[in-house]
Chains A and B, each alone.
Chain A
């Protein structure tokens, strides 16, 4: 098992290295290069020279890269050009909001997706199955930002039940307010994934329901509900771990759009602000952090999966 984990981690090394070079090189690909980013377009040669020395830009590029990489491992992501604050602190301020949204959206997706999948799989090709699969297709096709707008229009503008712009309220401080501000963004983000989930789980349930052990269970006289709960769900939920994990990972990225719809102060909005103000250290920092979270979740899923399912060989 330890060997398996080590091998998976080692496989990631080249990917992370290439990605880090790419993210570092961003600064050099920008017109004007990194120095233009720092001092602006109308700087005098003296200012440029001073800034070059101050930020160590007069050193060889390879040295600068290694220095930057060393900084990453220490949690030093540089200083924001716009606010002059450490990028790491700015990101850490926003991360709880994004995590809370991703968590709420995961709950929504499971609450919508699992019952739909079970109902469809119990009676494949029935009218209910058709209606539900139509719903999945719709949920997959509707752009999240438009769904968000429709939800705001209904629940905030017309019914006036919920706020149209969501603030971040930590769940443990004021659960009721937190929920009021979370429901719409979580629904927006969760509906799409609930459809992905429902499709995978339905396919997995249908194939399990055709298995020999289900026939045996039926011949023993077990009720369909019992078979579903005690036998089929357990087996069908295995691939589910992967989906839930990938879901969490995609939420971290997908949250960019949802956060923008609801002006929710998460990591995604920080990234958009950074792009609009051309704050490159902050852009790099956001991308690095999202990449690390994304890779970490994927890795955890892989390992968890191998741990839960003894049929997967570690070699």
Chain B
């Protein structure tokens, strides 16, 4: 896929399908709310202790938490935490993973062996455990959560780009650039990379879904973004303690979290179907198969 001409074309095709269209709509609304949350009459930290653990009402659409804070406001600001973590993590993963895959696949030999063993080590532990180990070292902060989630995403990019490079390495246009004296760097970044956009794009969407899940999971385990910053996972963690008094507390943030993950999954699947088989977007496709838990 060429960038951005055919990218826009793919996007148009994707929006032609019902599932991805709804997913884009949902994520769009969540993103807008998260970006412009400060302009809305919402305060995720304001406590109304006399009205703690109240069910959904006209004043508090999603009810209130144990400190009388508005759960809807916290869900909206929690979206900010989730989206920032996802965007940051995907950026880190791509910035480290893509060059590893390019260099390993392009040069082969010892460089490939060393880089791929490092990737193997990253993959030797389940992502959640690796993230927890990093947080154990760096302490609990939004930066640590972001970094931890990002590093667990490196192998995905590295392996996908490496596979792509291996399949393009002997193509005529790559060999031609070499024959005309183009440097390896030029060949990697200007010839091979622009022709590898499709799988990278799918990986970005897939990893966004995994990153949101992982951030929420870390917060749920009590090692993610520290309070009082609102986070969906943290809300589920606290809400779980009030299942008898306030069942909506642990249910509503979970609905939003699940819809966000499903939306990314749906877009990812739609995208990989389009790329694998542009004529028949109905069949095949297994983008999120490797999603980690």
Q: Do A and B come from one complex?
A: yes
Q: Is the CB of A283 within 8 A of B133?
A: yes
A103 and B251 alpha carbons, distance in the complex (Å): 29
Please tell me if A107 contacts chain B, counting CB pairs below 8 Å: no
Please tell me if B6 contacts chain A, counting CB pairs below 8 Å: no
Chain A: residues with Cβ within 8 Å of the partner, total of 52
Please tell me if B42 contacts chain A, counting CB pairs below 8 Å: no
Q: Is the CB of A287 within 8 A of B258?
A: no
Q: Is the CB of A149 within 8 A of B240?
A: yes
- Given the known interface contacts A257-B221, A291-B124, the answer about A145 and B135 at a Cβ–Cβ threshold of 8 Å is no
Please tell me if B28 contacts chain A, counting CB pairs below 8 Å: no
Q: What's the least CB distance linking B206 to chain A, in Å?
A: 12
Contacting chain A: which of B43-51, B176-184, B285-293? B285-293
Please tell me if A62 contacts chain B, counting CB pairs below 8 Å: no
Q: Is the CB of B216 within 8 A of A143?
A: yes
Q: Is the CB of B261 within 8 A of A141?
A: yes
Please tell me if B175 contacts chain A, counting CB pairs below 8 Å: no
A10 and B244 alpha carbons, distance in the complex (Å): 54
Q: Is the CB of B124 within 8 A of A137?
A: no
A295 and B120 alpha carbons, distance in the complex (Å): 11
A305 and B223 alpha carbons, distance in the complex (Å): 38
Chain B: residues with Cβ within 8 Å of the partner, total of 46
Please tell me if B171 contacts chain A, counting CB pairs below 8 Å: no
A287 and B124 alpha carbons, distance in the complex (Å): 11
Please tell me if A2 contacts chain B, counting CB pairs below 8 Å: no
Q: Is the CB of A250 within 8 A of B126?
A: yes
Please tell me if B56 contacts chain A, counting CB pairs below 8 Å: no
Main secondary structure of the interface of A (DSSP, over half): helix
A92 surroundings in chain B (CB, below 8 A) = none
Q: Is the CB of B223 within 8 A of A275?
A: yes
Contacting chain B: which of A12-20, A45-53, A215-223? A12-20
Q: Is the CB of A261 within 8 A of B240?
A: yes
A153 surroundings in chain B (CB, below 8 A) = 243, 247, 250-251
Q: Is the CB of B124 within 8 A of A254?
A: no
A287 and B125 alpha carbons, distance in the complex (Å): 8
Please tell me if A100 contacts chain B, counting CB pairs below 8 Å: no
* Residue from B117, B220, B251, B289 in contact with A199 in the complex, judged by beta carbons closer than 8 Å: B289
A1 surroundings in chain B (CB, below 8 A) = none
Please tell me if B128 contacts chain A, counting CB pairs below 8 Å: yes
Q: Is the CB of B257 within 8 A of A253?
A: no
* Residue from A141, A276, A280 in contact with B265 in the complex, judged by beta carbons closer than 8 Å: A141
Q: Apart from A137-B269, A143-B217, A152-B240, what are 6 other A-B pairs with CB-CB below 8 Å?
A: A143-B254, A153-B243, A157-B243, A157-B247, A199-B286, A275-B223
Leading 5 A-B pairs by shortest Cβ distance: A253-B126, A146-B254, A141-B262, A18-B121, A29-B137
Chain B residues in the interface with A (C-beta under 8 A): 117-118, 120-121, 124-126, 128-129, 132-133, 135-139, 209, 213, 216-217, 220-223, 233, 236, 239-240, 243-244, 247, 250-251, 254, 257-258, 261-262, 265-266, 269, 286, 288-289, 291, 293
Q: Can you report 16 A-B residue pairs in the complex whose CB atoms are below 8 A from each other?
A: A142-B261, A143-B258, A150-B254, A153-B247, A157-B243, A199-B286, A199-B289, A253-B129, A257-B128, A257-B293, A260-B220, A272-B221, A272-B222, A275-B132, A280-B136, A290-B125
